[in-house]
Structure 1
Amino acid sequence: MILVTGGAGFIGSNFVLDWLGNPATRGEPVLNLDALTYAGNLANLANLQGNARHVFVHGDITDRALLDRLLAEHRPRAVVHFAAESHVDRSIHGPGAFMKTNVDGTFTLLEAARGYWHTLGDADKTAFRFLHVSTDEVYGSLAPGAPAFTEDHRYEPNSPYSASKAASDHLVRAWHHTYGLPVLTTNCSNNYGPYHFPEKLIPLMIVNALAGKPLPVYGDGQQIRDWLYVRDHCSAIRTVLAHGRLGQTYNVGGWNEMANIDIVQTVCSLLDELRPDPAGPYSRLITFVADRPGHDRRYAIDARKIERELGWRPAETFQSGIRKTVQWYLDHADWVAQVQSGAYREWVTTNYAAR
């Protein structure tokens, strides 16, 4: 069994579904721990209802007693740590939650894992892994034309979110170098795909366009990101967990640098094709709004290390992945309606009304 934290969130739920449905993992059970905050959604895991290989626990990674009990009872061979507050805009409005979950939570999980690891026999102790899933945002912002982020790039986080993730990365590194805990870290670029909560760029554009609402684009829309289809990310994590060198960091990217405005235009064009609006092209809804504070201009991932050492490359191009993503949202209107609660609408108003 493996323990997955945050396995009801966007990337975590995709990972759990991928893991349990992938022949490569031979049906190994998953213990899924999630606090079910606004972005955690059991509807993401509806297909696993009644599946004995999926054990869900509603709980928080800051709860040491719960972690100790789960580790002792289920005896996982690995921890895959997704649980995190992850939205930059929310971190600007309320940084405290990010410090609690991303810093205190990671510390508590590391300490629980270290205590459990010391109880294992020699063979199990050698085989145990703690895989920490992080972000390229810890590296800061790149100038136009600057080389992409490698694993040796210095940390320069610019938002409360990225600062909290940088802190968690440093904790994971320290627990390996000080205590010998067998850790692995992945730093990924912007994910997109099924079950993405519609506060982030791509799902927000899709759901707003279908509702005939403005498509808010920060500043001039020229902020550049590398885009990674979420199921490619899941395959990378499986690869690192199985074959990664202990104590190492692996950058995971999609080799797809694109400006935000180009992403929005692509989504509009796909919707024009797949769900045309009698009122006209969806691009008519694009609305440029005031930029967010400290908005990083460019991220780019150099993913050659994971390819060179572990043989991993993304299977999807951006063109194939974004088409699958838009089609998924068109096919799952019920999921979209369910996540657009009153709290979600209040958040959108808070973040965008004054822009």
Structure 2
Amino acid sequence: MKLLLTGSSGWLGRFLAPKLEGIGHKVVGLDVAAGDHTDVIGSVADRGLIDQTFSDHGIEAVIHAGALHKPDIVRYPNSAFVDVNVTGTLNLLEAAVQAGHDRFIFTSTTSLMISETVRAGRAGGAEQAFWLDEEFGPLKPRNIYGVTKVAAEHLCRLYHKLHDINVAVLRTGRFFPEDDDTLTVPSGPNLKANELLNRRLTVEDAADAHIAALDRIVDLGFETFILSAPTPFLRADCKQLMEDAPSVITRYFPEAKALYEKQGWVLPDHIDRVYDAGKAERLLGFRGKTDFSSILKALAEGRPLPFQHDPSYISPKEAL
């Protein structure tokens, strides 16, 4: 298929584009910044550019991974988030419908599920970890990023209803390579390893999930999926995860404590949320290849950690 991939110069795009090309798709990359997989420079908010790109390249399906993200809040006004995340999504949906497409893949975020109550967790008085699946709600996003991504999801749902285009909304957990912009202890690889228990996936797995959605959504209509590494936890663990996470972790992974101590790492003392990616496995046939057990295996064997970590990473659009 001739695919339009937005955000092609971004972190996900640089992994997704070659995977798509490797299985025979023709990828036309669109981004505001130049990149190895970007053919069209410009914004999804520019409807004329979108129409021209569709016309010039004969686009047959869209993977819309371009967006302003949470770290961009300190760099861009709220209106820019509306222009890119909402109007940009509308432009692509309208163009896809006019072109007669049968599928549309939208990269969303689990961040829109994190209200102030969820974010506060134990500090806010929560007695157990929040179990976050696709039925969790009501959604009360805490910032302009989450608000605009919810709005874009609603547009996707509306265009499916009005025009019967099949849409997969992929709420991805964390896969960025840089350090967290708010947490400092633990930091770096230790934090990323911990997060694979409950809220992170690798960028490679995120790319594979998009490919699975592209293949499967035509038989599903409109569906929303949470994407995260397979969690070892059960709902029944949620209370103890908030009270004493290390005891739950070592119950599933008896070797974890010693391997972490050898590395000079720490396990989380509590876990306040767990992303359940089971629906993606059931309906898309997608299950992340890298999970917490992969981390422990790498530590035990002295191999490189199976995820990307680059504290110096800067989004290409910020290097313009």
Work out whether residues 130 and 273 of structure 2, in 8 Å CA contact, stay in contact via their aligned partners in 1. no
Q: 1:201, 1:7 → 2: CA distance?
A: 26
Which one of the candidate residues 214, 220, 235 is aligned to 1:241?
214
Work out whether residues 6 and 66 of structure 2, in 8 Å CA contact, stay in contact via their aligned partners in 1. yes
Work out whether residues 3 and 76 of structure 1, in 8 Å CA contact, stay in contact via their aligned partners in 2. yes
Q: 1:14, 1:202 → 2: CA distance?
A: 26
Question: The residue matched to 1:186 in structure 2 has which SS?
Answer: strand
Question: The residue matched to 2:5 in structure 1 has which SS?
Answer: strand
Q: Does residue 324 in structure 1 map to residue 298 in structure 2?
A: no
The one-letter amino acid paired with 1:135 is T
Distance change in 2, residues 1:309/1:74 (3 Å): same
Question: The residue matched to 2:25 in structure 1 has which SS?
Answer: coil
Work out whether residues 51 and 95 of structure 2, in 8 Å CA contact, stay in contact via their aligned partners in 1. yes
Q: Does residue 175 in structure 1 map to residue 159 in structure 2?
A: yes
The one-letter amino acid paired with 1:159 is N
Distance change in 2, residues 1:318/1:144 (3 Å): farther
Question: The residue matched to 2:131 in structure 1 has which SS?
Answer: coil
User: 1:247: Cα distance to partner?
Assistant: 0.9
Deviations 1:217-263 (A, max 9, x none): xxxxx9x960111111111111111013121112111135999xx9x
Question: The residue matched to 2:168 in structure 1 has which SS?
Answer: strand
User: 1:81: Cα distance to partner?
Assistant: 0.4
Alignment-derived partner of residue 11 in structure 2: 10
Which one of the candidate residues 270, 275, 288 is aligned to 1:301?
275
Q: 2:216, 2:315 → 1: CA distance?
A: 39
Deviations 1:299-352 (A, max 9, x none): 4321111112232211012464681336x64xxx9xx48x499x78xxxxxxxx
User: 1:103: Cα distance to partner?
Assistant: 1.1
TM-score of the superposition, structure 1-length normalised? Answer: 0.63
- Identity of paired residues, percent? 25
The one-letter amino acid paired with 1:35 is V
Q: 2:82, 2:38 → 1: CA distance?
A: 28
Larger displacement relative to structure 2 (311-320 or 73-82)? 311-320
Counting only pairs closer than 5 Å after superposition, residues 1-355 of structure 1 correspond to structure 2 as: 1-21=2-22, 25=23, 27-36=24-33, 42=35, 45=36, 56-87=39-70, 89-91=71-73, 94-117=77-100, 125=101, 128-141=102-115, 142=118, 143=126, 145-154=128-137, 155-192=139-176, 196=177, 200=181, 206=188, 226-244=199-217, 245-256=220-231, 298-318=272-292, 320=294, 323-325=305-307, 329=310, 336=312, 339=314
Q: 1:105, 1:145 → 2: CA distance?
A: 38
Distance change in 2, residues 1:159/1:315 (3 Å): same
Alignment-derived partner of residue 250 in structure 2: none
Question: The residue matched to 1:137 in structure 2 has which SS?
Answer: helix
Distance change in 2, residues 1:81/1:189 (3 Å): same
Deviations 1:157-214 (A, max 9, x none): 111111111111111111111232322211111114xxx356757999559xxxxxxx
Q: 1:201, 1:231 → 2: CA distance?
A: 24
Work out whether residues 227 and 255 of structure 1, in 8 Å CA contact, stay in contact via their aligned partners in 2. no
Work out whether residues 134 and 224 of structure 2, in 8 Å CA contact, stay in contact via their aligned partners in 1. yes
* Two-structure CA RMSD over aligned residues (Å): 3.8
Query: Can you give the 5+ residue segments of structure 1 that lack an aligned partner in the other structure?
Result: 46-53, 118-124, 208-214, 216-221, 274-280, 284-296, 345-355
Question: The residue matched to 1:248 in structure 2 has which SS?
Answer: strand
Q: 1:130, 1:225 → 2: CA distance?
A: 28
Q: 1:241, 1:135 → 2: CA distance?
A: 17
Q: 1:253, 1:307 → 2: CA distance?
A: 11
Distance change in 2, residues 1:84/1:55 (3 Å): closer
The one-letter amino acid paired with 2:216 is H
TM-score of the superposition, structure 2-length normalised? Answer: 0.70
Work out whether residues 32 and 57 of structure 1, in 8 Å CA contact, stay in contact via their aligned partners in 2. yes
User: 1:106: Cα distance to partner?
Assistant: 1.0
Question: The residue matched to 2:141 in structure 1 has which SS?
Answer: coil
Q: 2:181, 2:204 → 1: CA distance?
A: 17
Work out whether residues 144 and 298 of structure 1, in 8 Å CA contact, stay in contact via their aligned partners in 2. no
Distance change in 2, residues 1:191/1:75 (3 Å): same
Distance change in 2, residues 1:86/1:319 (3 Å): farther
Q: 1:70, 1:166 → 2: CA distance?
A: 26
Work out whether residues 72 and 116 of structure 1, in 8 Å CA contact, stay in contact via their aligned partners in 2. no
